[in-house]
Structure 1
Amino acid sequence: MPNFIVKKVAVLGAGVMGAQIAAHCVNAKVPVVLFDLPAKEGPKNGIVLKAIENLKKLNPAPLGDKDDAALIEVANYEDNLDVLAGCDLIIEAIAERMDWKHDLYKKVAPHIAPNAIFASNTSGLSITALSEGFDAGLKERFCGVHFFNPPRYMHLVELIPTAATRSDILDQLEGFLTTTLGKGVVHAKDTPNFIANRVGIFGMLATIYQAEQFGLSVDVVDDLTGKKLGRASSGTFRTADVVGLDTMAHVIKTMQDNLQDDPFFAVYKTPEVLAKLVAAGTLGSKSGAGFYKKVGKDILRLDFASGEYVPGGAKADDLVGRILKEKDPVKKMKSLRESTNKQAQFLWSIFRDAFHYIAIHGATIADNARDIDFAMRWGFGWNVGPFETWQASGWQQVATWVKEDIDAGKALCATPLPAWVFEGPVADKGGVHTSEGSWSISRSTFVPRSNLAVYDRQAFRAPVLGAGAETGATAGVTFFEDDSVRIWHQNDDVLILSFKTKMHVIGPGVVAGMEKAIAEAEKNFKGLVIWHADAAEGGAFSAGADLQAMLPLFMSGGVKAIEPAVSQLQNAHQALKYANIPVVAAVAGLALGGGCELMMHAAKRVAALESYIGLVEVGVGLVPGGGGLKEAAVRAAKDAKGTDLLQFLKNYFTNAATANVSKSALEAQKMGYLGQDDVIVFNAFELLHVAKVEARAMFDAGYRPPMRKLVPVTGRHGIATIGAQLINMRDGGFISAHDFKLGKMIAEVVCGGDIDNGSMVSEQWLLDMERKAFMELLNHPKTQERIMGMMQTGKPVRN
């Protein structure tokens, strides 16, 4: 397939979605122009300019770096349609009205370049109906491309072709969405609300219906249907509030208008409680109240019976909590089905309704079961998709139970389960996901994963339960493995070090593993990549030093006993920095404290966009002790290139003294934790591939470790200047006395101690200072309070 290079994207419509799609294009360094109507007063592009200003205020932030808002080009439909001729991809994202969309298409169609792809970000209108009126040339380059909100963070994009859409257009778009924008693509059929909203909104309606049947309050339902089920922590009603009750009502209306023949049509009735809230303008989070209302610090919940807001916070029954903790899905489902507890019965009923629904509708909404599972995982934040849950819980047994409930009139509709559920290949294999592929109901065959070239970049694709593919935890050839690390390779010339500790914290086992991995890589490989098997599925790179592992040492030998462990950590990081082969850190998720320090010592970093990086030790009353402050001094000297060193040092000092954590890899670059030549990857599934490519390229270019150089420092002059600012902060009540002490100690280390400005010191000099400060603080009662508080509650203590 020839290269599909997107030189520029146009987004039509500067509403919430359009503006955020434009922002994410800018995150990915794709030039973008954002269109809207000309403003009636003020500057003609006022609507777009206001939308771009708003991007800087939104939380979670749509932009990886707020300053990049300036890179979005502004346009309106009156003066700037000629700009469309230079765009390779045009995404329409205006309000969900067929007539408005058609009017806009008439306006823009003559200006679209002959090879450009035209796509609609509709969340549920018919793509075929939208394409009516296009000439044949544009029809074959038109499709649906449905991003989920917020587009930077939601992995899912649904790609919806019409009968006329060219398959090479879809392949090109899938490659761009996957690598450049970092998305997970599923192909949906052109049916109302496509896959995720169709199944997800049905699930929410069924949940609201069953909650009323079983008399459960919104807070209990959210506790039952959130994290405990392995779904988004917001549960059902809070999710509706966040999405917007008007948006939810609109999606439900699309189902009412277009699915009259659906056996579940009765369920698509707008719930009375939802209709009342929308009519009253109570639209959820954006209007300050919905199913919940925040009053001062209290979160009140809506009481369905009275229509009043009452105190919330009720939780699931302990018994049900225990059932949901059961590791064996077969036992768990059986317990829910057989329990007499009404919360357990409620949970069984919503599982049953979901299984019933996907069995009946799977053929019409998606090509195969895998796309339905991924749509729910990536679009609604479920850990496990509905077909995966059914299969893991015992395909035949669950099917029999669902059939019994349908026969007994307990299900939401009387339509029986289709025959394929009970007979033929699915029944023989015990489910829809197998090593041959996932079941396509419409084609009656198991369909393998897409073999587009873009997926060669994903060493381990998103796994499907029951499909038995290799994962990063088990694949390849193991050189060494224990409880802390696995050192392995994929039969090629790059060694991989993966941590196995919780949150990938760094204890003695990990330090020993690093030493082993470097020795083996220097002997037999071109490079070493530090990468973890859960990198793409929301794992951490490393949450820092393992405080728990230090406790026994501390108990038996006091602070003195810990010093050798700190020395060892510093030495391990120095060994990474001066290894004779390139070490590449493949970073995704949290890289905090020791995790940040480890990454700073690699020869290069390849970071996923969603990387949250920072030296956070002050939160537990410590200063960085694994070389983080030493690296700050080294980097500031490098940045300053002989000019005013203190200016560059202040940035690093402030970030460490305030435990500042980047909200993206782009921000980490600004903070100096990532270098300008480090690589930012948008799809975390491609992290390992890119890191290995970088390691090989460095080796092949004749990699040598850096020479050990002396570092210029600011000494007493720097300490005094930073100290004066700290005194102002303390006296102004911005920081506590202990924070002042921590700030002063950080300043002493990064400035090189009580010596003259411009003195040259060794890295070891700085490391010794860092370690001494770390040890002194460990002895301090206020620090010990912070450490204990963090270990007990997981929250920083301000003392």
Structure 2
Amino acid sequence: MAKKLLVRRAAVLGAGVMGAQIAAHLTNAGVDTVLFDLPAREGDPNGIVTKAVANLAKLSPAPLADKALAERIVPANYETGLELLRGCDLIIEAIAERMDWKQDLYRKVAPYVPGHAVLASNTSGLGINALADVLPEELRARFCGVHFFNPPRYMHLAELIPARSTDPAVLEGLEAFLTTTLGKGVVVAKDTPNFIGNRIGVFSMLAAMHHTEQLGLGFDTVDALTGPAIGRPKSATYRTADVVGLDTMIHVIRTMADTLPDDPWHAYFKAPKWLTALVEKGALGQKSGAGFYTKRGKDILVLDLKAQDYRPSAGELDPEVGAMLKEKDPAKKFAALRGSGHPQAQFLWSIFRDTFHYSAFHLAEIADTARDVDFALRWGYGWSLGPFETWQAAGWKQVAEWIAEDIVAGRAMSNAPLPDWVFDGREGVHGAKGSFSPVRNADVPRSSNPVYARQRFPDPLLGEKFSQGRTVYENDGVRMWVDEGEEIAVVGFKTKMHTVNDQVLAGLREAIAIAERDFRGLVIWQPKEPFSAGADLAGALGLLQAGDLAGFEKMVADFQATSQRIKYALVPVVAAVRGLALGGGCEFQMHAARTVFALESYVGLVEAGVGLLPAGGGLKELALRASEAAGPGGDVFAQLKTAFESVAMGKVSTSAFEAKSLKLAREADVVVFNSHELLHVAKQQALALAESGYRPPLPARRIQVAGDVGIATFKMMLVNMLEGRFISPHDYEIATRIATVLCGGEVDRGAFVDEDWLLRLEREHFVALAQMPKTQERIAHMLKTGKPLRN
């Protein structure tokens, strides 16, 4: 049995950008958190922290999953607050990257650290053993490095760096806490400068800068080459540098130069002249408004080194190189890049070659296995494949020969030889037995830490295949499957973006019938995000344009029938949501017995954006919930206001917690921080419901509604918005109809209606809106551009 790390309360030392955001994410995860900094010179001694917490609300993307969580963070300072550390189980130090400052702080806090607590440094590259040296002997076993990537809520990577003295049980407990409670992907790194992610990631940026200069390419051209075209984030190379801050980039490069004097690539660990010149001018990137890029009005300009000025950004892939990158076979792609004389192709081959060379040369020193390096780059830098995976996919032996040839010919950045293991006859570093470890000279399987048993489908490495379970039922819209010996079945959609069409509706109803007959529960889960982008608009528009009104009305009725089938199934149907759950996708989860959300769930009833209203039972559910919340004789209208705004404005939640405050999720719905654990938790929830004698709710026959008075009140709000030109006449039309359905139609205030009445209202108003030319224009515009039209 693994030793658990029990964390009731945590402390973060340092309320700078990183420290405050780590505290925010701990708070997101339900950990009672104290945030420390220096005492303020005047006024409230906790003033520095209070200001840092207030600043969290201004950051984008938002560090807090719900703004209200800010007041849960406890502010403290190092002079009057150290006693608070005695109640903490985990203490994360996140002050500035200076060894002397960190060591001074450790000496100060050590007497207050309880005998069981774990102390970790969120350093991005300082020596963990050197930091441990100043700690009292008995605390060293509970000290290690834990390096979060910025922004900590969204970046999946957390590097765990043991010191020589770290107790392995402490490490295992912390890994489980980081994985499940904070939702991280953990990579264990060795205590070397910049660890794994930044060691390879920053080198790859330095290589890109070196070859930019060698081949005379524009910064915007390099960004066109090193972004999504090669499976990397849109911010590519120079835009990333602008976001990180050019002063920070120079600091990181200088740290590499100072701490890695024997690295064979040491000559390149210096900032190019043009980078230093920008920083000296105060052009620090995004935070100062100018760096490699700047914005003038709506135009994005890029720095032109020759002209020493900014010019319109136009960097594009040469069509010839673009065609090479579209080649599906990685071996052919790399052969084409290496063989081409085009500067853009030469640039790409060069950065890949030098990153492969650097990663292989340093693997034994920085990581236990090649898996750690690939995951660090995928999770910390957003690469779709890590360097070793890319090399292996392109043909290990052939690429190794090419790199060796380039080293001999003096074309590579360093003449250091590739390690012997590269040429031992292998076809790669990842295989069925695990990933290669040069120190152990063996293939090492994935971690045996029990926390990973919760991941039915972990993030797969190149060549890894996980059993897809036994297919129980399948049509063109869905696949239903089960794991051997389990009593909970799983169903997923096969459509693009998991949109809902006739086949999905029919397939879902059939899957529920099979689950009722043969299983104890059903989970709706998609192997990849999103959960569902909603109804198939193209199919709906086709029916309307063909004049097939009966077919269109049937589609709406089928949608509602499927939602009701989910709700009234005789076994629990649990929705497992991550990513987008829009429109019909949101309505399906509203009808589930329970929803399990990944923290990063973006939920919304967005039909108003395409000129429609939700008609898959979503408005009916909102009216029903308002009636239940108000209680007998209560004020239903007051309960409807938030839901009306959410739907009429097409709001989409920025987290699972916000989905609850927008009334699109229920308080009892579960939030999971690691999306790889979503399926496990959803199955457990379904099983728990089944075990407790699950019965669906009884049909709702007495739903109290806000009626004509409610509609009139909503209309007053809308008229003001129309007169103030905040909404168009068609927006007014849609919102009035949404209000009409939510309030139960033109009936007396406080009247009682049933579900069928509300569903009929949904259908009538949906079909009426769908026939309006302005709505059809909106649908067509959305299908063509992917953006809503305000007409």
So what's the TM-score if we normalise by structure 2?
0.98
The separation in 1 between residues aligned to 2:629 and 2:385, in whole angstroms, is 46
CA contact under 8 A between 2:474 and 2:480: conserved in structure 1? yes
Listed one character per residue, the Cα deviations across residues 775-797 of structure 1 (whole Å, up to 9, x for unaligned) are 11111111111111111111111
Listed one character per residue, the Cα deviations across residues 61-80 of structure 1 (whole Å, up to 9, x for unaligned) are 00000111000001000001
The separation in 1 between residues aligned to 2:724 and 2:112, in whole angstroms, is 59
User: Which of 629, 639, 644 pairs up with 1:648?
Assistant: 639
Alignment-derived partner of residue 332 in structure 1 = 333
Counterpart amino acid of residue 478 in structure 1: T
CA contact under 8 A between 2:3 and 2:170: conserved in structure 1? no
The separation in 1 between residues aligned to 2:473 and 2:327, in whole angstroms, is 32
Alignment-derived partner of residue 364 in structure 1 = 365
Give yes or no for the alignment of 1:743 onto 2:735: yes
Mean CA deviation greater in 316-325 or 681-690: 316-325
Give yes or no for the alignment of 1:469 onto 2:465: yes
Counterpart amino acid of residue 569 in structure 2: A
CA contact under 8 A between 1:559 and 1:778: conserved in structure 2? no
Counterpart amino acid of residue 721 in structure 2: M
Alignment-derived partner of residue 478 in structure 2 = 485
Q: Where do residues 438-457 of structure 1 align in structure 2 (5 Å cutoff)?
A: 438-457=435-454
CA contact under 8 A between 1:82 and 1:111: conserved in structure 2? yes
Alignment-derived partner of residue 458 in structure 1 = 455
CA contact under 8 A between 1:636 and 1:648: conserved in structure 2? yes
SS in 2 for 1:588: strand
Give yes or no for the alignment of 1:699 onto 2:690: yes
The separation in 2 between residues aligned to 1:516 and 1:197, in whole angstroms, is 50
Listed one character per residue, the Cα deviations across residues 128-152 of structure 1 (whole Å, up to 9, x for unaligned) are 1111122221111110000000000
Give yes or no for the alignment of 1:525 onto 2:496: no
SS in 2 for 1:119: strand
Give yes or no for the alignment of 1:433 onto 2:430: yes
Q: Alpha-carbon deviation of 1:591? A: 0.4
Alignment-derived partner of residue 639 in structure 1 = 629
Q: Alpha-carbon deviation of 1:690? A: 0.4
Q: Alpha-carbon deviation of 1:698? A: 0.3
The separation in 2 between residues aligned to 1:484 and 1:420, in whole angstroms, is 47
User: Which of 643, 659, 667 pairs up with 2:650?
Assistant: 659
Mean CA deviation greater in 777-786 or 653-662: 777-786
CA contact under 8 A between 1:160 and 1:187: conserved in structure 2? yes
Q: Where do residues 180-195 of structure 1 align in structure 2 (5 Å cutoff)?
A: 180-195=181-196
Counterpart amino acid of residue 231 in structure 1: R
Counterpart amino acid of residue 35 in structure 1: F
SS in 1 for 2:546: helix
Give yes or no for the alignment of 1:673 onto 2:676: no
CA contact under 8 A between 2:159 and 2:188: conserved in structure 1? yes
Q: Alpha-carbon deviation of 1:682? A: 0.3
What is the number of equivalent residue pairs in this alignment?
787
Give yes or no for the alignment of 1:87 onto 2:84: no
Q: Alpha-carbon deviation of 1:314? A: 2.3
Listed one character per residue, the Cα deviations across residues 39-78 of structure 1 (whole Å, up to 9, x for unaligned) are 1122111100000000011000000001110000010000
CA contact under 8 A between 1:124 and 1:251: conserved in structure 2? no
SS in 2 for 1:608: strand
Counterpart amino acid of residue 513 in structure 1: G
SS in 2 for 1:194: coil
Q: Where do residues 698-777 of structure 1 align in structure 2 (5 Å cutoff)?
A: 698-710=689-701, 711-777=703-769
The separation in 2 between residues aligned to 1:322 and 1:778, in whole angstroms, is 42
CA contact under 8 A between 1:34 and 1:72: conserved in structure 2? yes
Alignment-derived partner of residue 619 in structure 1 = 609
User: Which of 504, 508, 517 pairs up with 1:510?
Assistant: 504
So what's the TM-score if we normalise by structure 1?
0.97
CA contact under 8 A between 2:89 and 2:116: conserved in structure 1? yes
SS in 1 for 2:398: helix
Q: Alpha-carbon deviation of 1:302? A: 1.0
Listed one character per residue, the Cα deviations across residues 574-630 of structure 1 (whole Å, up to 9, x for unaligned) are 000000000000000000111111111111000000000010011111111211111
Counterpart amino acid of residue 345 in structure 1: Q
Alignment-derived partner of residue 259 in structure 1 = 260
Alignment-derived partner of residue 554 in structure 1 = 544
Mean CA deviation greater in 126-135 or 606-615: 126-135
CA contact under 8 A between 1:179 and 1:454: conserved in structure 2? yes
The separation in 2 between residues aligned to 1:612 and 1:708, in whole angstroms, is 29
Counterpart amino acid of residue 755 in structure 1: V
SS in 2 for 1:469: coil
Mean CA deviation greater in 339-348 or 168-177: 339-348
Q: Alpha-carbon deviation of 1:334? A: 1.7
SS in 2 for 1:416: coil
Alignment-derived partner of residue 778 in structure 2 = 786
Counterpart amino acid of residue 551 in structure 2: A
Alignment-derived partner of residue 301 in structure 1 = 302
CA contact under 8 A between 1:723 and 1:744: conserved in structure 2? yes
The separation in 1 between residues aligned to 2:657 and 2:602, in whole angstroms, is 10
Listed one character per residue, the Cα deviations across residues 54-109 of structure 1 (whole Å, up to 9, x for unaligned) are 00110000000011100000100000111111111110000001111111111101
The separation in 1 between residues aligned to 2:342 and 2:293, in whole angstroms, is 26
CA contact under 8 A between 1:665 and 1:680: conserved in structure 2? yes
Q: Where do residues 573-584 of structure 1 align in structure 2 (5 Å cutoff)?
A: 573-584=563-574
Q: Alpha-carbon deviation of 1:557? A: 3.6
The separation in 2 between residues aligned to 1:559 and 1:330, in whole angstroms, is 52
The separation in 2 between residues aligned to 1:33 and 1:395, in whole angstroms, is 49
Listed as ranges, the gaps of 5+ residues in structure 1 are none
Q: Alpha-carbon deviation of 1:306? A: 3.1
SS in 1 for 2:12: strand
Q: Alpha-carbon deviation of 1:764? A: 1.3
Q: Alpha-carbon deviation of 1:326? A: 2.0
Q: Where do residues 680-691 of structure 1 align in structure 2 (5 Å cutoff)?
A: 680-691=671-682
Alignment-derived partner of residue 115 in structure 1 = 116
The separation in 1 between residues aligned to 2:676 and 2:472, in whole angstroms, is 23
Q: Alpha-carbon deviation of 1:548? A: 2.1
CA contact under 8 A between 2:9 and 2:31: conserved in structure 1? yes
CA contact under 8 A between 1:435 and 1:469: conserved in structure 2? no
Give yes or no for the alignment of 1:68 onto 2:69: yes
SS in 2 for 1:439: strand
Counterpart amino acid of residue 747 in structure 1: A
The separation in 1 between residues aligned to 2:542 and 2:37, in whole angstroms, is 63
Alignment-derived partner of residue 544 in structure 1 = 534
The separation in 1 between residues aligned to 2:166 and 2:106, in whole angstroms, is 17
Alignment-derived partner of residue 27 in structure 1 = 28
The separation in 1 between residues aligned to 2:76 and 2:354, in whole angstroms, is 47
Counterpart amino acid of residue 709 in structure 2: H
Q: Alpha-carbon deviation of 1:276? A: 1.4
Q: Alpha-carbon deviation of 1:419? A: 1.2
Q: Alpha-carbon deviation of 1:551? A: 4.1
The separation in 2 between residues aligned to 1:734 and 1:113, in whole angstroms, is 57
Give yes or no for the alignment of 1:225 onto 2:215: no
Q: Alpha-carbon deviation of 1:340? A: 2.4
The separation in 1 between residues aligned to 2:272 and 2:386, in whole angstroms, is 25
The separation in 2 between residues aligned to 1:774 and 1:326, in whole angstroms, is 45
Listed one character per residue, the Cα deviations across residues 17-60 of structure 1 (whole Å, up to 9, x for unaligned) are 00000000110010000000001122111100000000011000
Alignment-derived partner of residue 386 in structure 2 = 385
Mean CA deviation greater in 551-560 or 750-759: 551-560
Are the structure 2 counterparts of residues 632 and 79 from structure 1 closer, same or farther at C-alpha, using a change threshold of 3 Å?
A: same
The separation in 2 between residues aligned to 1:273 and 1:87, in whole angstroms, is 47
SS in 1 for 2:291: coil
